[in-house]
Amino acid sequence: MLEKALEGNNRYWAWIFFLLGVITIGGLFYVHQFHYGLGSTGMSRDVSWGIYIAQFTFMVGVAAGGVMLALPLYIHDYKVFGKIAILGEFMAIAAVAMCLMFITVDLGQPMRIMNVLLHPTPHSMLFWDMIVLNGYLFLNVVCGWGILHSVYKEVPPPKWAKPLVILSVPWAFSIHTVTAFLYCGLPGRHFWLTAILAPRFLASAFAAGPALLIIIALIMKHMGCFDPGKEAIQKLTTIIIYAAITNLFFVGLEFFTAYYSNVPEHMATLNYLFWGVDGHNSLVYLMRFGMFIGIAGIIMLLFQKFRQSDGWLGFCLALIFASLWIDKGVGFVLAGFVPNPFDRITEYYPTLSEISIALGVWAAGALILTLLYKIALKVEFKED
C-alpha cells in the first residue's frame, strides 16, 4: 500500500520537494539550536515558552478536531461522512506528529525525553499529556491504516476496528482537556487559571480542525483529485460555525469575568493583549485583527451566498482558521507570561532560527499529511 505514495504527477513532486526544502532549512537551524542551546530563540527567563509550545497547543486542537467527523459517523452512523472520515483520521496523525515534534524541539535536553517514561510522575500533567497524545496517535494510526488496508484488500473492515474507532472519540476530547490542564492548573498565571479553559480549547479545536480539513478538501477538489461531496462539506461547515460561535462566547465570558469583577490580575493579560500596557503592545494589532477576521468569517458564513460557493467558503474558513491560530497559536501561550510574577512586562519576539524551525515542523506535518492523503485517495477512490 505504501508504494501508492510514490505515484504522482509533476505538481505532486514539486510540492513534495518544496516541503523537503523547508524541512531541510528548519533542520539546519535545529542543528544550530541543538548545539548552542535554546538561547537561539527569543525566549527568556520571563517568557519561558514561545511559539513552539504555542504551536503545540494549537496542533493538539487540530488533531482533536478530527473527531467532528468520527463522532457523527461512528456513533450516530451518519453515512455522509463515510467518505471523508479517513481524511480526519489521517489529519489527526499528522497533527499529533507535529505536536510531538514541537515538544521535542522545545526541550533543553531532548536526548533525555525518555526520562518522562523512566520516571513516571502521575502528579505532572505533562506526563499525562504524553500518554494521551501517544495513545491518540496509536489509535488513529491503527484505525486509519487498518480500515484503509481492508479497502485495499477488498475485504470488510476488521472486527477490532469498531471498538477502537469508538474509543478514539472520547480520547480526542481527552487530549485537549489534558492539554488545557497543563495551563489551567498553575497558580499565579491568572490568564490561564480558568476552569473554562478546557471547553474553550475544545470549542476552538472543533472549529479549527474541520476548517482546515475542508480547506484541504476544497483544494483537492479544485485540482480534480477528489470530491468529498457537497452534503458532507455543508454539514461540516454548520458544525464549524457552531463551534466557532461557542468559542467566541467563551472568550466573551473571559472578558466579562475579568472586567466586571475588576480584579487586577484577571484584567492584566487581557489589557496587554488587546490594549497594550505602558507602551508594550507587540501583540495588540495582531490580536485585534484575529478577533476581527474571526467574527467576519462567522458572519459571512451565515449567508448562503458565501456558503454555497467553494471559493468564498474556503476564504471564510481560512479567516476563521487564521483567527483561531492567532488566538491560540500565538496570543494564548505567550501572553500567559505577561505580566511576569513581579508585575513587569517582558515582551517576546521569535528569532529567525525559531521561526524557521517552526516552519520546518509545519512542513514536516504537511508532508506526512500529503503522503497519507495520497495513499488514501489512491486506495479508497482509485483517484489521483
Partner 1 sequence: MDVKRRKFLKIAGLSAVAGLAAPSAFNLLLNKGEALATEGRSGAKSEAHGEKSGETSRQYGMVIDLERLQRSPGLAEKCIHACNTEHNIPQYNNPKDEIKWIWLDDYRHSFPEHSQYKKNTALAKLPVVLLCNHCAHPPCVRACPTKATFKNSDGVVMMDYHRCIGCRFCMAACPYGARSFNWRRPREKDANGKYKFFPDGVNPEFPMRMRGVVEKCNFCAKRTLAGRLPACVEACGDSKALVFGDINDPKSEISQVLKAKYTIQRKPAAGTEPSVFYII
- Residues engaged in binding partner 1 (CB under 8 A): 36-39, 42-46, 48-49, 103, 106-110, 112-113, 115-116, 118-127, 130, 182-183, 185-189, 265, 336-337, 340-344, 346
With CA atoms as reference, report the closest residue to 62 among 363, 329, 277, 269.
329
Residue 6 or 107 with smaller CB distance to partner 1: 107
Give the nearer residue to partner 1 in terms of CB position, either 41 or 323: 41
Shortest distance, CB of residue 109 to partner 1, whole angstroms?
A: 4
Phi, psi of 74 (to 5 degrees): -85, -30
Which of 186, 302 has the CB closer to partner 1? 186
Q: Name the residue with cell 477538489.
A: 221
The CB-of-48 to partner 1 minimum distance in angstroms stands at 4
Nearer to partner 1, 185 or 252 (CB): 185
Residue 166's Cβ-count burial label (10 Å; 0-12, 13-18, 19+) is middle
194: Cβ contacts below 8 Å, ≥ 6 apart: 184, 254, 257
Closest approach of partner 1 to the CB of residue 96, in Å: 18
Shortest distance in whole angstroms from residue 262 CB to partner 1: 14
Of 130 and 287, nearer to partner 1 (C-beta) is 130
Measure CA 102 to chain center. 12
- Report the alpha-carbon distance of residue 365 to residue 257 in Å, rounded: 37
Neighbours of 5 (CB within 10 A): 16
Question: Distance between CA 370 and CA 359 in Å, rounded?
Answer: 16
- Give min distance, CB of 59 to partner 1, in A: 17
CA–CA separation, 43 vs 183, rounded Å?
Answer: 18
Task: Give the residue from 35, 125, 45, 58 showing the smallest Cα distance to 322.
Answer: 58
To partner 1, the closest distance from the beta carbon of 279 in angstroms equals 17
Residue 368 in grid coordinates: 506526512
Closer residue to partner 1 in complex, CB, 21/185:
185
* Alpha helix (H) residue ranges in the chain: 10-36, 51-65, 67-70, 85-106, 115-118, 125-152, 161-184, 197-222, 230-261, 264-274, 284-301, 304-308, 310-326, 333-335, 352-381
- To partner 1, the closest distance from the beta carbon of 113 in angstroms equals 6
Closest-CA residue to 236 (of 141, 169, 307, 334): 307
Q: How far is the CB of 181 from partner 1 (least distance, A)?
A: 11
